[in-house]
Structure 1
Amino acid sequence: MKKLFGVDFGTGGCKATVIDPEGNILASAFEEYPSEHGRPGWSEQDPALWIDAFVNTVRSCRHQMSDGFDGLLGLAVTASTHNAVLLDEQGQVIRRCIMWNDQRSGDQCRRLKEDHGSAIFAIGMQMPTPTWTLPQLMWVKENEPENYAKIRRLLFTKDYVRSYVTGDFCTDVVDAQGSLLYDARSGCWSSELCGLIDLPLSVLPEIRKTKDIVGTVRREVAECTGLPEGLSVIAGCSDTAAEDFSAGAVNEGQIIIKLATAGNVNLVTNEANPHAKSFTYPYSVEGKWYTVTATNSCASAYRWMRDSLYGAEWAQCEKEGTDVYRLMDEQAASAELGCQGLIFHPYLLGERCPLFNPNARGDFFGVSMVHTKAHFARALLEGVAFSLYDCLQVLKEFTDSMEDIVIIGGGAKSPLWCQIVSDIFGLEVKLPEHAESSFGGALLAGVGVGVFANEMEAAKTCIRMKKTYLPNPENHAKYMKLFQIYKEVSELSAPVWEDLARFVEE
């Protein structure tokens, strides 16, 4: 049987998926790994954990299939973008990887905007925010000069893992764009942007197309994982680009709502539409672009609530073999719409669209004696959906069509959360049967090795919709009233966030 393999490295863990050429899942595995938050707004990961997770999930998938990896034709690795792994002359990791949701480089972003903002936007198509690799590296240069001086190679998350598999030194156009060191119009690294931080172009990887075969599985990795030695490996892309593709978004005007570690509302376009309040990327579908609007804390906020408020319930669910998130959803469903005035702002790691404020902080506003844990759980789901609705307003500048919307990500497993999103947006929302980055990566591997003629054929063959959520007009009207209060509280809080940031720094 022919097989295709995708392995994705999200912020919260690694997901591996094996499919057949009809899009049926043959095996899957997941392994969680932690982020380190040494200070408020900081987020780092140890790249060694990614390698361990790769090996473990690949082995797990092999054991799930009676014929193992017989018939496997191609592998793709995908991951969250912006995350630079810094390597020294011996190829060793210099420091933990600063992740895309890290907010420490706020001051660097301010200075980059003031001194070079127009030039950066003209070349990189984005304004500097702490999400991007350029200001992250600027922070390292200014605060850890001894580490910065050691840099001889730079790879992004998926490329670091793939390099372990094949030994290559390259990235794809999507991750290159995610660095803010790349000139997408010219298709090459920008000497002008790299010059802002004195970064030699020689440390940056070769840039390839997402579906290009860039190497094969090395013998040592084959012996460790069971993967066939010599298996073709494609360049891969960002998790978002793979996941949007896995949802069937291959045509201009399609919108994707992503409930993952971060939350995204993305729009597929035929050309680049740079905007100061969104992100612009080449797409995994060759010849297309996608515009991204994003909130930093989405499913990660629900995970934070699990860890912080549901410890006892989580332990009990572990004993019973049940899912604590399902319990949280059940409690949230028991609370009424609007939670009797309890509002959550999901700015646990600062915020991207549309605030672009690294000092933004989350809150539960309107707490009273009537509120229970169930109200807090539902308020969190509603608050994240409000933040995503805020993101949607930016995309309205680029499209009049809001009819072809799909919802994806781990949070989309919650029927309650999907319905809340549909009600707040006031729009019909479709849920694909399979829509994960690892699934999309497997499809892209199929395109790369020739199983599918192109991305359109892969989508037509393998992608199916499972459910459609219809908005309740009465609920939408109520949510719009609450959304105005949500916005007002956020705007009034902005000066206080700055006071809090100064207090923490003292």
Structure 2
Amino acid sequence: MTEIIGVDIGTTSTKIVLYDQTGTAIASANHGYPLYQTEVGMAEEDPAAIYDAVITGLTEVTAKATQPIAGISFSAAMHSLILLDDHFAPLTRMYTWADNRAASAAQQLRERPDAHALYWRTGTPIHPMTPLSKLVWLAQTQPALHQQARWFVDIKAYVLQRLCGQLVTDYSIANATGLFDLHQLKWDSQALQLAQVRAEQLPQLVDTTTQLTGLTPQLAKQLGLSPNTPLIVGASDGCLANLGVNAIEPGVAAITIGTSGAVRVVTDQPKLDPQGRLFCYYLAPNRWVIGGPVNNGGNVLHWVQTTLFATENPDKPLTYEQITRLATQVPAGSHGLLMHPYLNGERAPLWDANARGAYFGLTARHSRADLARAALEGICFNLAHVAKMVQALTGPFTNLQASGGFTRSETWRQILADSFDTTVTIPASFESSSLGAAVLGLASLGLIPDLSAVQTMVANDQQQLPKETNVAIYRELYPIYEQLATAYQPIYQQLAKFK
């Protein structure tokens, strides 16, 4: 028997888990790093700090290995961008997906007559999150910096280059840049022209199951590994989260609510939304992930906590558990109160960085408990809005595999099951992207027959069944929620211009 390490390079921390061949976690480490937001729209991180978090975590888990380590497999957050010099040293911090300063560049791209054709080739909705938009923005606002760069890379490419001296990007991460032709599995020439970047300035494209070797002798000694230990390039965190919760079969959707959220389903071929509202990302041969990410998940509950439930001591508002307990005292539908949770703009389903949150239907009889429940319902309605678009492409959902911090709350799980009118299954493992990376690595190494072996590795912790009485209420309310979202959208830009 051997063991494998799954590395998940996330937006706020890097999670590293040591697994045996059955997918059982043996040891783990989690190290965070600061997010720099010193100007409006900014969301940057230090690539060196992220690399240090990877090395620290690897050092901790390799020390706890009980069997030989067969390989290290990688997951990483999407849409990251770092500019490097000739010696692979960063010229910038890492621009994260949440950096919104390329909003004007994204708007320019959306207004181009060939915008839909660009989406149809890349499978990536045009939005400030994408490296494409960020590169257009940098070329316009910091042309000297843009021209100085020798390399334009993602965070995983940066980490792998430092680990083994090879600069590569997998199809899955590349697919989320807006620069990648998903039909031909190569960089898109027109997108590169728009970004003012040459293919020679980007990492070499490889499949997600590609193995690299060549750990530096110093690192190999520090980690207690052979320099020839395979590094499996892996895929993006969203795609691997589907794999890690066993949501890779038709009709099985993965729902994630952490700080943000997403709805994703796996198909055997690319599927694209005629209106360009959904992503289509590569996972592995004959496996594509269709879905939509939302900006507003647990961060909305945090706003409710700190704004609506701040006590006389603002440093000690009610806990999330106390707030959700209050929400259970309110019936489904929050006495006719709806909330649009667009507190941080929105990606899917609106793809509008100017989107604004709103309560609708507020009356004097509503309490803070109503406001709290309406917020939880609004988050789930927003995901249901995305799911409706996904199902139009891929067919109905038969089950929801749910992950993220929200799964610890029975109240929130019930609202999700009732909103979707579908059973919600909670896998026992919370680190879905790390496990997904490990499973992909095991398949690459030939230690499991294929990715479907994940079925034997994911234990389901519990199921939440929909309640028909609540389902009936949400069937009545949801169309009003969606109609309001459509009606409000033309007003967002006017509000965004108001100072």
Fold conserved between structures, TM > 0.5:
yes
Of 407, 423, 427, 2:422 maps to 427
1:75-98 deviations in whole A, cap 9, x for unaligned?
112111111121122322222222
- Check conservation: 1:328, 1:377, Cα contact below 8 A: yes
Q: 1:249 is matched with which residue?
A: 247
- SS at 1:475 equivalent: helix
Q: Which shifted more, 436-445 or 365-374?
A: 365-374
- Check conservation: 1:102, 1:131, Cα contact below 8 A: yes
Q: 1:161 is matched with which residue?
A: 159
In the TM superposition, what are the counterparts of 1:94-493 in structure 2 within 5 Å?
94-115=91-112, 116-225=114-223, 229-275=227-273, 276-284=276-284, 286-305=285-304, 324-366=319-361, 374-434=369-429, 436-457=432-453, 459-493=454-488
Q: Judging changes above 3 Å, is the alpha-carbon distance between structure 1 residues 434 and 476 closer, same or farther for their aligned structure 2 residues?
A: same
Q: Which shifted more, 121-130 or 386-395?
A: 121-130
Q: Judging changes above 3 Å, is the alpha-carbon distance between structure 1 residues 95 and 303 closer, same or farther for their aligned structure 2 residues?
A: farther
- Check conservation: 1:86, 1:94, Cα contact below 8 A: yes
- SS at 1:176 equivalent: helix
Cα distance between partner residues in 2 of 1:331 and 1:11: 31
Cα distance between partner residues in 1 of 2:340 and 2:222: 45
* Sequence identity percentage: 28
Q: What amino acid maps onto 2:277 in structure 1?
A: K
Q: CA deviation at 1:304?
A: 4.9
Q: Judging changes above 3 Å, is the alpha-carbon distance between structure 1 residues 476 and 5 closer, same or farther for their aligned structure 2 residues?
A: same
Q: CA deviation at 1:336?
A: 3.8
- SS at 1:491 equivalent: helix
- SS at 1:110 equivalent: helix
Cα distance between partner residues in 2 of 1:36 and 1:348: 19
Q: CA deviation at 1:315?
A: 6.4
Q: Which shifted more, 473-482 or 408-417?
A: 408-417
- Check conservation: 1:12, 1:261, Cα contact below 8 A: no
- SS at 1:141 equivalent: helix
Q: Judging changes above 3 Å, is the alpha-carbon distance between structure 1 residues 34 and 411 closer, same or farther for their aligned structure 2 residues?
A: farther
The gaps in structure 2 that reach 5 residues or longer are none
1:454-487 deviations in whole A, cap 9, x for unaligned?
2123x13312222221101111122233323433
- Say if 2:14 is the partner of 1:14: yes
The gaps in structure 1 that reach 5 residues or longer are 318-322
- SS at 2:213 equivalent: strand
Cα distance between partner residues in 1 of 2:479 and 2:218: 57
Q: Judging changes above 3 Å, is the alpha-carbon distance between structure 1 residues 231 and 186 closer, same or farther for their aligned structure 2 residues?
A: same
Q: What amino acid maps onto 1:107 in structure 2?
A: S
Q: What amino acid maps onto 2:132 in structure 1?
A: L
**What is the TM-score when the length of structure 1 is the normalising length?**
0.89
Q: Which shifted more, 477-486 or 437-446?
A: 477-486
Q: CA deviation at 1:113?
A: 2.8
Q: What amino acid maps onto 1:450 in structure 2?
A: G
Q: Judging changes above 3 Å, is the alpha-carbon distance between structure 1 residues 146 and 227 closer, same or farther for their aligned structure 2 residues?
A: farther
Q: 1:54 is matched with which residue?
A: 54
Q: CA deviation at 1:237?
A: 0.7
Q: What amino acid maps onto 1:424 in structure 2?
A: S
Q: Which shifted more, 149-158 or 337-346?
A: 337-346
Q: CA deviation at 1:3?
A: 1.3
Cα distance between partner residues in 1 of 2:343 and 2:224: 40
Q: CA deviation at 1:25?
A: 1.1
- SS at 2:455 equivalent: helix
Q: Judging changes above 3 Å, is the alpha-carbon distance between structure 1 residues 204 and 496 closer, same or farther for their aligned structure 2 residues?
A: same
Count of equivalent residues: 494
Q: CA deviation at 1:39?
A: 4.3
